Amino acid sequence: MTDATNRIQNTITENDVVLYMKGTKDMPQCGFSSRVAGVLNYMGIDYADVNVLADDEIRQEIKSFSDWPTIPQLYVKGEFVGGCDIITEMMLSGELDQLFETKGVTYDKDAAEKIREANA
Is residue 49 within 8 Å of 24, Cβ to Cβ? Answer: yes
Residue 30 annotated as part of some ligand binding site: yes
Half-sphere exposure of 103 (CA within 13 A, CB side): 20
Q: State the pairing for strand pair 48-51/17-21.
A: parallel
Annotated binding residues for [2Fe-2S] cluster: 30
Cite the annotated binding site by residue number: 30
